[in-house]
Amino acid sequence: MTRDRALILAIALGSLALVGPLAWPLVNGRVFVYNDLIWFHLPARHLYQQALRGGDSLLWTPAIFSGFYLHGEGQIGILHPLHLLLYSALPLQAAFNLELIVNYVAAFGGMYWFLRRLQCRIEPALFGAMLFAFSGFNLLHHHHMNMVATVAHLPWLLAAADVLLNDGRPQVRAGACAAVAGILASELLLGFPQGVWWNALALTWFAVYRVGEIGRWRLLIRPAVASLIGVLLGGIQLVPSADAAAHSLRATATREFALTYSLHPLNVLQLWSPYAFTGGAYGPLDYPWFHEFGIYSGALPLVALPWLWLRRRALTAARRRLATALVVLAAVALILAFGRHGGVDVLLTYLPVLQSLRAPTRYIVLTQFALAVVGAIAIEDLLAIREGRTDPPVTMRAVWSPLILGLLSLLVTALFSRARDPIFAGPMHAAAGLAFVLAATVLLVLAARRMPWALAALAVFTAFDLGAWGIRFVYRERPRTIESLTQAIEAPGDAVADSYAAAPAEGRYRSDLLVLRGYRLTSGYVALYPSSRNGLDTPAFRRLSGTRWVFSTDGVRTPAPDGVARARLLDSTGHEAPGRVEVVTDRPGHIVVRVDTRDRAVLALTERFHDGWSAADATGRRPVRAVEGDFLGSVIDPGVSRVEFRFMPRSLLWGASVTVAGAALLALVVAVMLRGGAIRSGESGNL
């Protein structure tokens, strides 16, 4: 069996052509700026890097919502080793770009390893890796960085689980147990629990499939134990995230919230006619974000489905079982993606935690993962045909029947492009999707007819197909320099109190973007919006948070003169009390105030309250309290004192304890596995 060098080269060039545009901003000093990238991810990582380099707390930032438990929110992955390395060692632009690029490289490498574990040859393994790494889901969600990063762990998790289930060597099995636990912990440290849930579903599916093949159901305990250890190892992020969620608006989320962004079944038409819809996708009940409802992931995986069905007798029994299991996974994930339109996910919303995870349409990632493996199996079969290793021989029916899919695409395009409903695109626009499906079909047929160049052409075409769908979306907004994002706005004053501003929810400087200019926002944009008695966007909250500036949707800055001082004294009735206050230190998670008062009073700050704050003076710890329900304060005795506030929430301490327990349990399990293997080896040697 010789390697198809032309096919390997074509896949390599196609993959480089896909990753190249993702890496281009790194080379020319820019960053991608679409959607959450500049509304949240870039500003949050700017704050993260500042805290790392300034020696400040990584847990809390005063720069959004007048103070926010940033580690609990989780999406930065503050304690993830890769993030700590990138943002402590590199400039923000380089670290930000590398974090994005690494996701796709990791997805490619993990999928290659997983397919090799499934006994795929190098060529189909590389092809499947390209299909998964640059799938429609991964490229369309490039701006959800931690989501794609979590998904990139999926094939690594399944490959490690496969080693754990199948390898008989104690040392290798113990290493695989540690790998499964470590991969799950890495996912949890990225702060996107919804993605961990998807990966857990896929792991369950794969473990059942693999153990079913082996016929030893007791082996399921291995990945179960490794997964439990992984959850414990991730406790240092998981427990703080639970704390932040409990103090957020998500705690009151309804089942209806969990079903927002449900995939309407009409979107299945994308699979046959990807450009049939005017906006790329159809979302009648939610804002039709293309990145949420766009489910196309290349024509080849779809064409491969009927091909493998017609070729099922020529496949080995193991490949037939695998293909069947993959179709089941793809179908179940698609039904879950339908959300309120499919019924099954509605039942899941009755479960704790899942009730607060929205957007069922994102289950489509598992469908695309399964179809990427199906595509690899199809390439494997085409290689076998070309090399004369197929049995039974190829029939004309098997060769030409995939054209039925192309005819179906033609029919869909003809019918819906003529429809007068504005959701459907015109004939010329829709015809582009028809061309992709027909081209994939024709190239597959030619490869089956043993045309020597067809497989390499199919790889190049598939890369172009994925790029036309996904890379084109990535570049819908041109990359920009970080400095250009806010350079037109006037900088805040030198005094910290003069930097407090409220940003609009829409417009030029929306969400968290202004923190790049040095502002501390009394507004903000995160996944876990903190709950508030006064309401985060009310005049009362702005006044009590010390807001000095208000930005309009067109970027105009106007004064807000009624904001209170950064620190002030209040009497028992809540009115201003006589005395002097001076803020000596004002850093993230660390505030020091010098107070001089004749009477007992409440020292009130514009920092938002959280029960993770503590206060102390020369006499010892002071009780902290919520002022006006939302802001940090402490009762001060008469005289001159120096009051120090620090943020160290109990949830972090509990989470760290859980992580330590997980590490201890992992060490114990690995030792037992190695010990058991040594005993069995010794017994065998004595026989």
Q: What is the pLDDT of residues 81-93, one digit of tens each?
A: 999 999 999 999 9
Peptide bond just before 392 cis, omega within 30 deg? yes
How large a percentage of the chain has pLDDT more than 90? Answer: 70
Mean pLDDT of all residues in the chain? 90
The CATH number assigned to the domain holding 588 equals 2.60.420
Residue 470 — very low, low, confident or very high, per pLDDT cuts 50/70/90? very high
Give me the pLDDT at residue 686, please: 42
- Domain presence at residue 321: no
Section 152-170 average pLDDT: 95
- Domain presence at residue 500: yes
Report the predicted TM-score, pTM, of the whole model to 2 decimal places. 0.93
Q: Are residues 584 and 644 in the same domain?
A: yes
CA torsion sign for 586, 591, 596, 598 is positive
Give me the pLDDT at residue 311, please: 87
Q: What is the pLDDT of residues 594-617, one digit of tens each?
A: 999 998 999 999 999 999 999 999
Q: What is the pLDDT of residues 110-141, one digit of tens each?
A: 999 999 999 999 999 999 999 999 999 999 99
Specify the pairing of strand 68-69 against strand 60-61: antiparallel
Section 287-305 average pLDDT: 92
CA 190: distance to chain centroid? 8
Pair of tokens at residue 293? 């409802």
Q: Are residues 551 and 606 in the same domain?
A: no
Distances (CA, A) of 363 to 250, 336, 659: 20, 6, 29
Q: Are residues 583 and 630 in the same domain?
A: yes
Q: Are residues 616 and 644 in the same domain?
A: yes
Is the pLDDT at 152 greater than 60? The verdict is yes
- Domain presence at residue 88: no
Q: Are residues 589 and 644 in the same domain?
A: yes
Residue 684 — very low, low, confident or very high, per pLDDT cuts 50/70/90? very low
User: Around Cβ 494, how many Cβ atoms within 10 Å?
Assistant: 8
Q: Are residues 582 and 628 in the same domain?
A: yes
Is the pLDDT at 685 greater than 50? The verdict is no
- Domain presence at residue 377: no
Q: What is the pLDDT of residues 359-418, one digit of tens each?
A: 999 999 999 999 999 999 999 999 999 888 776 555 555 555 555 655 666 666 666 555
Give me the pLDDT at residue 397, please: 57
- Domain presence at residue 615: yes
Q: Are residues 577 and 641 in the same domain?
A: yes
Q: Are residues 603 and 540 in the same domain?
A: no
- Domain presence at residue 595: yes
- Domain presence at residue 601: yes
Alpha helix segments (H runs only) across 118-153:
122-133, 136-140, 145-152
Q: Which of 507, 527, 559 is the last residue of a domain?
A: 559
- Helix, strand or coil for residue 527? coil
- Domain presence at residue 484: no
Give me the pLDDT at residue 392, please: 53
Give me the pLDDT at residue 284, please: 85
Q: Are residues 583 and 623 in the same domain?
A: yes
Give me the pLDDT at residue 275, please: 86
Any residues with CB less than 8 A from the CB of 338 and at least 6 apart, and which?
262, 263, 264, 265, 344, 345, 360
Q: Are residues 554 and 626 in the same domain?
A: no
Q: Are residues 629 and 582 in the same domain?
A: yes
Residue 687 — very low, low, confident or very high, per pLDDT cuts 50/70/90? very low
Write out the residue range of the structural domain in which residue 601 sits.
567-648
Give me the pLDDT at residue 242, please: 94
Q: Are residues 633 and 591 in the same domain?
A: yes
Any residues with CB less than 8 A from the CB of 138 and at least 6 apart, and which?
103, 104, 107, 132, 148, 151, 152, 365, 470
- The structural domain count of the chain equals 2
Section 473-489 average pLDDT: 93
Is the pLDDT at 25 greater than 70? The verdict is yes
Give me the pLDDT at residue 76, please: 94
Q: What letter represents residue 593's amino acid? A: V
